Structure 1
Amino acid sequence: MSYPALFTTPGMRNFAEAVDTERQRQLDLWGDQHHPILRGPSNQGLFEELAQAMRDSNADPAQRCWMTILLEEAYEAGAERDLAKFRTEIVQIAAVCQAIITDLDRQGQ
């Protein structure tokens, strides 16, 4: 499917098209799913601990990689209780995913 040029960030159009294709595949396979957005306080504490561990790891450039950055964002989202802030975290995850895909494409992967 071809989309109008709405994006200015390098690689964003290809990323959005790939996500759209994958999301349609998921819809075809499982239909429109509905799950709880967030779970209780026990999960929040776990995600807070995991997020802090990833922040500590990412503070050291020798330990930082795309996966630790992505995990830090995901754990921060899981620790969030406010749905508006949770949404912001999910957008950050998508932005990191786009950066990873763009970096992969630059490397010819």
Structure 2
Amino acid sequence: MNSFDIAQARVLADVKRERDAQDAIFGVQDLPDGTGGPLYECMANTVRQECDRAFEVGRGTFGDVFLEEVYEAMAETDPAKLRAELIQVVAVGVKWIEAIDRRAAE
């Protein structure tokens, strides 16, 4: 296992601990998704355009990418597509945390 795999495993273990803590506090929750609709579609388009612009001028950030993924998920109503978008949200979050940890180790 290389250092990137070890760092990622540590982040995923942190996520697992947080999920376990959430279940201990709240139990299993089956809430409605609360996604879709014109507001989230508009926000997704706006945030996507802002993210693209930020990267075009060399000032793109993890925050830009993360918000783009979040709003794309919030705009989605199809369960399979929503799941795929949420996987992207979590993956960007993990990547961002890995970058934070690398900076902290410097």
Under a length normalisation based on structure 2, what TM-score does the superposition of the two structures give?
A: 0.82
Identical positions, percent: 30
Contact 1:73 1:89 in 2 (8 A): yes
- 1:17 alignment partner, one of 13, 18, 25: 13
What's 1:45 paired with?
A: 38
Q: 1:56 to 1:37 in 2, by over 3 A?
A: same
Query: 1:27-53: per-residue Cα shift (whole Å, max 9, x none)?
Result: 1111111101245xxx52111111111
Query: 1:71-102: per-residue Cα shift (whole Å, max 9, x none)?
Result: 11111111112111110000000110011001
Contact 1:70 1:97 in 2 (8 A): yes
What's the C-alpha RMSD, in Å, of the aligned pairs? 2.0
What's 1:76 paired with?
A: 72
| Residue identity in the other structure for 1:106 | R
The CA deviation at 1:63 is: 4.6
Contact 1:55 1:72 in 2 (8 A): yes
The CA deviation at 1:103 is: 0.4
The CA deviation at 1:9 is: 4.5
- Corresponding pairs, count: 100
Large movers: runs of 4+ above 4 Å: none
Higher helix share: 2
Structure 2 unaligned blocks of 5 or more: none
The CA deviation at 1:58 is: 1.0
